[in-house]
């Protein structure tokens, strides 16, 4: 299993630690740390170190997924008869998000990240941190109170999009800064798009959960099907572009993994389409089944991202 999913699986089996407030302050204090990071030496876009580029695009892209994942866990906790394990999972997801946020700016040897020195990237990460803070506050409020109220879900529905969009913009800047002769523009794009698929799996479950919980606004149903469509389009782009972008023995494993992801998506997408219809039987058990399938797809998609990263290494 991939490193981050193994981390979450292990962590979600533990009760939340006793230093909750200290961790909360760390997670929500990212904006100030981002500002401090701007005192680092600055280099021009063309001088970015290409060797670190694939990993930075991967981990920055993973942040988008973790934002949606944290909201998903809280939403599922609001529907569950036993919310505490799901809230613990949300907390551990935020902690992983926070570690990666710091690592993208200041470096993290364990994650294989070097300190960031590009002003454009640092500014984008600061903006993403600021946009994330109010969303993270809502998640931690639910965790602290060991319960999820209608107001929490309304705020998640309102705030998750702005947090996601800011992080997506940061990923795009990182992709642009770090593509070079060693990391081609096409391969940087493939790492970004494959990473976005991970986010879509979590966003669809979150959107479905919010819809089931009654947090429906104008266009919410359309947004859900738009996310499904974007998943399909992104997967098709990868399947079309990869044969020309990846050569040699590294191509076949990626093509095989993409074909498997397409088959899994056909099943999951059909299940989600039925689940959101008014005629479907609304129950927490079928939501959990959808989430398990989405988690399985998430794991396979992460392996695909790592395969693309390996091509670029």
Q: What are phi and psi of 113, to 5 degrees?
A: -110, 135
Instruction: Give per-residue pLDDT as tens, 260-312.
Output: 999 999 999 999 998 887 656 667 888 999 999 999 999 999 999 999 999 98
Residue predicted with more confidence, 50 or 196: 196
Residue 24 has pLDDT above 80, yes or no: no
What are the CA-CA distances from residue 282 to residues 128, 150, 213, 226, 293 (Å)? 35, 18, 10, 22, 17
Total number of residues shown for the chain: 313
User: 43 - beta bridge partners?
Assistant: 118
Instruction: Give per-residue pLDDT as tens, 28-72.
Output: 444 333 323 322 223 233 334 446 899 999 999 999 999 999 999
If phi > 0 it is left, if psi is from -120 to 50 it is alpha, else beta; for residue 146 that is left
- Please give the model's pTM, rounded to 2 decimal places: 0.84
Residue 181 pLDDT level (bands cut at 50, 70, 90): low
Instruction: Give per-residue pLDDT as tens, 77-88.
Output: 999 999 999 999
Per domain, the residue ranges of the chain are 3-312
Tell me what percent of the residues of the chain surpass a pLDDT of 70.
81
Helix H or strand E encompassing 32: helix 30-37
User: Residue 99, exposed/middle/buried by CB under 10 A (0-12, 13-18, 19+)?
Assistant: middle
Give CA–CA dist 129/136, Å, rounded: 10
């Amino acid at each position: 299993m991939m490193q981050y999913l193994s981390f979450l699986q292990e962590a979600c089996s533990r009760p939340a630690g006793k230093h909750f407030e200290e961790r909360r302050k760390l997670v929500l204090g990212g904006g100030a740390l981002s500002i401090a990071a701007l005192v680092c030496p600055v280099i021009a876009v063309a001088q970015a170190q290409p060797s670190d580029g694939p990993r930075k695009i991967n981990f920055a892209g993973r942040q988008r997924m973790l934002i949606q994942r944290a909201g998903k866990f809280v939403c599922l906790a609001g529907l569950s008869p036993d919310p505490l394990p799901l809230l613990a999972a949300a907390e551990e997801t935020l902690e992983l998000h926070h570690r990666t946020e710091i690592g993208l700016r200041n470096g993290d040897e364990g994650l294989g990240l070097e300190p960031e020195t590009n002003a454009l990237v640092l500014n984008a990460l600061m903006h993403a941190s600021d946009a994330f803070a109010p969303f993270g506050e809502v998640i931690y409020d639910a965790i602290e109170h060991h319960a999820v109220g209608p107001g929490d879900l309304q705020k998640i529905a309102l705030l998750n999009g702005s947090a996601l969009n800011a992080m997506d913009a940061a990923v795009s800047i990182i992709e642009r800064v770090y593509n070079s002769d060693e990391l081609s523009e096409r391969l940087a794009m493939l790492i970004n798009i494959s990473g976005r698929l991970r986010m879509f799996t979590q966003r669809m479950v979150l959107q479905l959960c919010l819809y089931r919980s009654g947090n429906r606004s104008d266009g919410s149903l359309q947004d859900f099907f738009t996310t499904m469509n974007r998943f399909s389009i992104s997967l098709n782009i990868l399947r079309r572009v990869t044969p020309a972008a990846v050569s040699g023995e590294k191509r076949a494993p990626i093509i095989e993994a993409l074909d498997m992801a397409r088959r899994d998506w056909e099943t999951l997408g059909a299940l989600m389409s039925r689940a959101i219809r008014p005629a479907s039987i609304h129950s927490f058990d079928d939501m959990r089944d959808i989430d398990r399938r989405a988690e399985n797809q998430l794991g396979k998609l992460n392996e695909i991202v790592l395969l693309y990263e390996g091509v670029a290494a």
